[in-house]
Amino acid sequence: ASNPAKTKGPKLKKAPRPTNAFIIFRRENHGRIFQQNPHLSNNDVSKALGKEWKELPEHKKDIYREKAKNLQLEYQHKYPDYRFTPPAHRQKRAKTPK
């Protein structure tokens, strides 16, 4: 006999977080950086794009912010009950000296 407490129903998919302005900027510019520097890892490409983002003039950032705002509105229609809940941080155990 199966134990009803252990049976699981279909796992509900958690809605992804909405895309922010930097992620849109990164998505649009990743290929360019990678083409110029094919030896870079994704992590290094992200660092380079982060530096570019910081140096980008506000009026150019506003273009990406507007895109993010439009995506946010679409997102709110698609997932009206979505609320961002960051994962709880686990406390690290203190290491015991040997």
Tell me the pLDDT tens digit for each residue of 45-98: 999 999 999 999 999 999 999 999 999 888 888 877 777 777 787 777 767 666
Domain with 70 in it: 21-78
Judge if pTM exceeds 0.85: no
**Would 60 be classed as within a structural domain?**
yes
**Would 12 be classed as within a structural domain?**
no
**Would 71 be classed as within a structural domain?**
yes
Alpha carbon distances (Å) from 77 to 26, 50, 87: 25, 30, 24
Residue 64: CB atoms within 10 Å: 21
**Would 59 be classed as within a structural domain?**
yes
13-41 pLDDT, tens digit each: 666 777 899 999 999 999 999 999 999 99
Which CATH number is 32's domain given? 1.10.30.10
**Would 25 be classed as within a structural domain?**
yes
**Would 63 be classed as within a structural domain?**
yes
Domain count, the chain: 1
**Would 85 be classed as within a structural domain?**
no
